[in-house]
Amino acid sequence: MPEYPDELADCTGFQWDPGNSEKNWEQHGVTQGEAEQVFFNRPVRVAPAKHTRRERRYAALGQTSGGRLLTVVFTIRGTLIRPITVRDMSRRERRLYEREEES
């Protein structure tokens, strides 16, 4: 799994859509703060995800400061990371993340 895409290194913050933020809390019990921690804690793995015709999307596999393993699907708008969905990692994602962590 590749590391950060080049444009992620230039990001200066986050841009939250109120609807996505609420959905992530209601459906997955993930706060904005937890989602943002994924990008600051190591290791974090980022790879291209399915994208729409309008924008490229990425998936970040990482962990919160409390050790919760999360998947963050996001896009980059200018210099801001815009999370789209955040949820607990699936079993398959955990295996991939842990395998990458060992190497």
> What is the pLDDT confidence band of residue 55, given thresholds at 50, 70 and 90?
confident
Residue 50 inside a domain? The answer is yes
Nearest-5° Cα angle at 87, 66 to 77: 100
Domain that holds residue 33: 6-102
Residue 1 inside a domain? The answer is no
Nearest-5° Cα angle at 17, 83 to 53: 65
Please return the burial class of 6, using the count of CB atoms within 10 Å of its CB with bins 0-12, 13-18 and 19+.
exposed
CATH number at residue 39: 3.10.450.530
Residue 65 inside a domain? The answer is yes
pLDDT of 67 > 90? The answer is: yes
Residue 47 inside a domain? The answer is yes
What pTM was estimated for this model as a whole? 0.90
Q: What is the mean pLDDT of residues 74-85?
A: 95
The total of structural domains in the chain comes to: 1
Higher-scoring residue by pLDDT: 102, 31: 31
| Per-residue pLDDT at 36 | 97
